[in-house]
Amino acid sequence: MSSSVIKTALVTGASSGIGYAVVKELAENGFTVYACARRLDLLEQLSRGYEANKVIPYALDISNFEEIVQLKEYLSKHLPHQRLDVLYNNAGQSCTMPAVDVTNERLNQLFQVNVIGHMNITSQLCQFLINAKGTIVFTGSLSGVSVFPFGAAYAATKAAIHQYARVLHAEMKMFDVRVINAITGGVSTDIADKSPLPKSSPFYFPEGLKALEERKLMSAKNFPMSAETYAQKLVKDILSPRDPVDVYRGTLASVVSWLMMFAPYWLVEWVTFKKFKLDSVEKALGQKRETEKQE
């Protein structure tokens, strides 16, 4: 990170949850923070808790490339010495739905927000980070390394971001720019997907519906870390001279990641079936097939 007098950071998805908490933690650690999200009213409310120009609200839809280009132009006029110390890529959408039930429209939006938007904003702002010898952070997820049922589409976006961050790390270290991939476990936020299962779904029967609801409650039932504690840990990672690429933050992040590295896949899948009541789903489907054979 640069030793410039005015430390600057930009955080996407800053209107709630992790992004909101990270903005506050960075500001309390001496950064001037550009807080970006679609909801400008929430950002303005956040900025009022600080002295003028300490937290700067900026309306941004990360899925809109033109808006990212406009952000670059805005920063080129306002960043002190054209230096950005921290780019915190946090904006994201959840999707808890059987893989076969995710619509084309939703799939495209999910990848635009969770993957392509982060890639675009990183490429557009990279020179500011090179100038500052700064740090780029991505909010990854256990979903990107583990097997969480009814989360295939979301998991695919996070796996893509993990790999993007790791390769980016190798490329940017030559410019003295650090890249942190925060593999995130349980954190108390409002990102949970509340979309109902469509009636056309092959899982639309009592056991399938029950399993989906169990999956949606996964984070809340596993003692999630507060967003404030998570932000404190991540800002410490940013301020640290260490350069580990992957860091594990949030409830069960390290445990599940190590399990996935060393446990045989059949065991992982067996545990998944038990924990998320997929064995009941499988049993119900088997009974249905037997009934159909007898008819």
| Residue bearing the bigger pLDDT, 258 or 21 | 21
pLDDT digits over 43-93, tens only? Answer: 999 999 898 889 999 999 999 999 999 999 999 999 989 999 999 999 999
Residue closest to 94 by CA, chosen among 190, 193, 188: 193
- pLDDT mean over 223-231: 93
Residue 31 has pLDDT above 90, yes or no: yes
Let me know if 15 is a catalytic residue: yes
Let me know if 76 is a catalytic residue: no
- In-domain check, residue 111: yes
End-to-end CA distance of the chain: 70
Beta sheet of 86-89, edge-to-edge order = 55-59, 31-37, 7-12, 86-89, 135-139, 178-184, 246-249
Residue 216 has pLDDT above 90, yes or no: no
**Residue 132: CATH number of its domain:** 3.40.50.720
pLDDT at site 4: 46
Q: Which residue has the tokens 């033109």?
A: 66
Let me know if 283 is a catalytic residue: no
The CA distance from 209 to 211, in Å, is: 5
- In-domain check, residue 280: yes
Average pLDDT score over the chain: 92
Neighbours of 290 (CB within 10 A): 9
Which of the following is catalytic: 34, 154, 164, 248? 154
Concatenated DSSP letters of 111-143:
HIIIIIHHHHHHHHHHHHHHHHT-EEEEE--GG
- pLDDT mean over 136-163: 95
Total domain count for the chain?
Answer: 1
Which of the following is catalytic: 7, 24, 158, 216? 158
Cβ neighbors of 135 (< 8 A, separation 6 or more) are 1, 85, 86, 87, 129, 177, 178, 179, 180, 238
Which two tokens mark 25?
């933690």
Amino acid identity at 216 = K
- In-domain check, residue 2: no
The CA distance from 249 to 65, in Å, is: 30
- In-domain check, residue 162: yes
Which of the following is catalytic: 15, 63, 141, 257? 15
Query: Which residues constitute the domain of residue 54?
Result: 7-294
Which two tokens mark 9?
């950071």
pLDDT digits over 258-282, tens only? Answer: 888 899 999 999 988 888 889 899 9
pLDDT at site 215: 86
pLDDT at site 3: 46
Residue 252 has pLDDT above 90, yes or no: no
- In-domain check, residue 247: yes
Distance of CA 49 to the CA centre of its chain: 25
The CA distance from 133 to 118, in Å, is: 19
Confidence of residue 295 (pLDDT cuts 50, 70, 90): low
User: Residue 144 in contact with residue 161, Cβ under 8 Å?
Assistant: yes
Confidence of residue 214 (pLDDT cuts 50, 70, 90): confident
Residue 1 has pLDDT above 50, yes or no: no
Element containing residue 266 per DSSP (H, E):
helix 265-275
Residue closest to 253 by CA, chosen among 272, 212, 225: 225
Residue 151 has pLDDT above 80, yes or no: yes
